[in-house]
Amino acid sequence: MNPIAAPLEDLVPEYIRHFEAYIPSKPDDELKKLYGCDPLYRLNNNENPLGPPAAARPIIEHFAAPGAAIYPSGDAYHLRRALGEKFSMNPDQFLVGNGANEVIAFVIKAFCQEGDNIVTADKTFAVYEWIAEFSGFSAHLTPLLDFGFDAEAMLNAIDKRTKILFICNPNNPTGTYWNREQLINFMDRVNGRQIVVIDEAYCEFVEQEDFPDAMELIRQYPNLVVFRTFSKMYALAGLRIGYLAGSLEVVDIIRRTCVVYSVNTLAQRAALKALNDDQHIIDTRNHIRKEKARLLPLLKKLGLKYQSGEGCFVMIHLPMSDTLAYRKLMARGVMIRSMTGFRFPNWIRVSIGSSQAMTAFVKALTELIEQTSQ
C-alpha cells in the first residue's frame, strides 16, 4: 500500500489509512493475454451459466438507445410493486439497490454510529466486514462450526454496542444453511435487541424442504431484514441489482440512507421480467444438480477433500497453495476463486458452470494434481 503524503494524511480517518483496497481481477481479454489461454472459462464468481431468464432477454436485447438519456425510476417503483405482489407485502417494505453491496451499506449506515459494531462469521461473504470497517465501525467475527454459522458464538459476541447481526443463508462459500427451526430460535433469542440481516443471495438454488423463507418471517420479527439479488439465480450480475425487505418501520429508517437513482433503467426492467420466470429457476437447479453429480465423484477419485452444500459452487481443498493453483489453472484456461481471502488457505471455490466449462475444469485440475504428486 502506498504511503499517504502529508498534508493529505491529516484528512484521512485512521480506519481508512489501514484498510486495504479490494483489487478486482483484470478483464477477460487482458487475462487471456497475461496467461496465454483461449478460451477462458469463468468459474470464479458464481455466475449462472444459463444466462438471463428467457422473459428478460428481449428487454436486454432490444433496449432502445434514447432510453439511456432518461433517468431511471429513482426508487424502482414498478419493481417494488412487483416484489410486493410476489411476496404479499407492501411495496414500501422493499428497497432496491445497485447490487447487494449497496443495500449492505444502506443498513450499516442506517443503524451504526461511532463506537458501534456488527457481528458476523469469519469465513463468509466478506463485504459485511469490509463495509463496516471502512465506514468506521468494527466487525466482531465468530468462527464457523462444521462449515456453518455458529448461533451460540454469534450471540456470545454481542455487546452493548452491537447493532447488526449478518447471517449468510446459505453461506457463501461453504453452502451450509440454518433450517427454519434454527433461524426462529436465533431470532427469539435476539429478541429484537439488534437488527438481524439474513442474506439469501443463493436461496433460489436451495431445494431442501427445511430451508426457511425469511420473507415469511418478517411479519413475526420487525427487526429482521432480508437481502436478495438478481445477480445469481437470475443471471443479471452485469446489471447490478439487488434488494432488501423488512417491516415498514425498519425499511423507513433504512430508506433515509438510500441513494436514489442508483439502479439503472435496464436493470430495473430486466429484473421486473425475470422475477416470475419460474421455469428459469427449475432449469438452473436441474443443471446445477447434474453438474455437481458429475463433479463430486471425480473429486473423490482424485483424493481431494471438498465441501459441497447448497448453492452453485463447491469448495475444494488442495495439496498446494490456492494462489499457486489459481495461476496454474488460469494457464489452462480455467478461472476459479482462491480462498485465502475467505480465510480458507489452500482451498479453492469453483462455480458450477456450463458442461463444457466443467469438463475443462476437471481436465485442468486432474493435470494439476497429477503434476503435483509426481
The tens digit of pLDDT for each residue in 228-257 reads 999 999 999 999 999 999 999 999 999 999
Alpha carbons 338 and 342: distance in angstroms, whole number: 8
- Note the pLDDT tens digit of each residue in 257-284: 998 999 999 999 999 999 999 999 999 9
More confident residue, 352 or 20: 352
Domain-embedded: residue 76: yes
Phi-psi domain of 351 (left: phi exceeds 0; alpha: psi -120 through 50; beta: other): beta
Together in a domain, 66 and 180: yes
CA dihedral sign, ordered 268, 239, 58, 62: positive
Together in a domain, 140 and 218: yes
**Residue 33 above 90 pLDDT?**
yes
- Bridge partners of 165, per DSSP, are 119, 196
Q: For residue 120, give the C-alpha cell.
A: 458476523
User: Residue 88: its pLDDT value, please?
Assistant: 97
Alpha carbons 234 and 53: distance in angstroms, whole number: 6
Domain-embedded: residue 359: yes
Together in a domain, 266 and 126: yes
Domain boundary among 257, 274, 291: 274
Together in a domain, 266 and 308: no
CATH code for the domain in which residue 24 is found: 3.90.1150.10
Domain-embedded: residue 3: no
DSSP 8-state assignment for residue 159? -
Together in a domain, 25 and 62: no
Together in a domain, 187 and 108: yes
Domain-embedded: residue 2: no
Q: For the chain, how many structural domains are there in total?
A: 2
Together in a domain, 151 and 202: yes
What amino acid occupies position 5? Answer: A
* Domain interval for residue 127: 57-274
